[in-house]
Structure 1
Amino acid sequence: MVNEGDYVVIFNSIHRVMEAEKLLKQQGLAILLIPAPRALAADCGLAIRYAEEVRPQVEAALTLAGLMPRESFRKQGEEFIKIEGA
């Protein structure tokens, strides 16, 4: 479900993740709402996945809308590496 190099972001609530999904899809960005990987603690159980190619656009849209995720990760091998400062 999450490929090598993909980014996964988790939010504090189901409402925020759904709002972020709606916003990003309206902008035509290639994102996917997924069940949060077990390795990541997500209060709402859902996460948004996106590829490196759309990272700048996704993060800019979320910042502009005030919908910053609680935590951001990048899939590397079998692990999820936390993106500091994200």
Structure 2
Amino acid sequence: MVNEGDYVAIFNSIHRVMEAEKLLKGKKLKILLIPAPRAVAADCGLAIRYAEEVRSGVEAALLESGLMPHDLYRKSGDAFEKIEGDK
């Protein structure tokens, strides 16, 4: 479900993740709403997955709308690396 190098955005509520999904799909950005991976904690159980090629567009849209994720991870091998300082 999450490929090597993909980003996973974790939000602190179901409302925020759904709002972010609507915003990003409205901007025609290639994202996918997924169940949050077990390896990362998510209060709402859902996350947004996106690839490196759309990262700047996704994160710019979220920042502009005030919907930055609570946590951001990048899939690396079998683990998820937390991205620091990119919010």
TM-score class, shorter-chain normalisation, is over 0.9
Shift of 1:37: 0.1
Percentage of identical aligned residues = 77
Q: For the aligned residues, what is the CA RMSD?
A: 0.4
Shift of 1:70: 0.2
Which consecutive unaligned segments of at least 5 residues does structure 2 have? none
Is structure 2 residue 17 aligned with structure 1 residue 13? no
- Aligned counterparts of 2:74 and 2:54: Cα–Cα separation in 1: 13
Shift of 1:49: 0.1
Deviation string, structure 1 residues 30-71 (Cα, Å, up to 9, x no partner): 000000000010000000000000000000000000001000
Which consecutive unaligned segments of at least 5 residues does structure 1 have? none
TM-score (norm. length: structure 1)? 0.99
TM-score (norm. length: structure 2)? 0.98
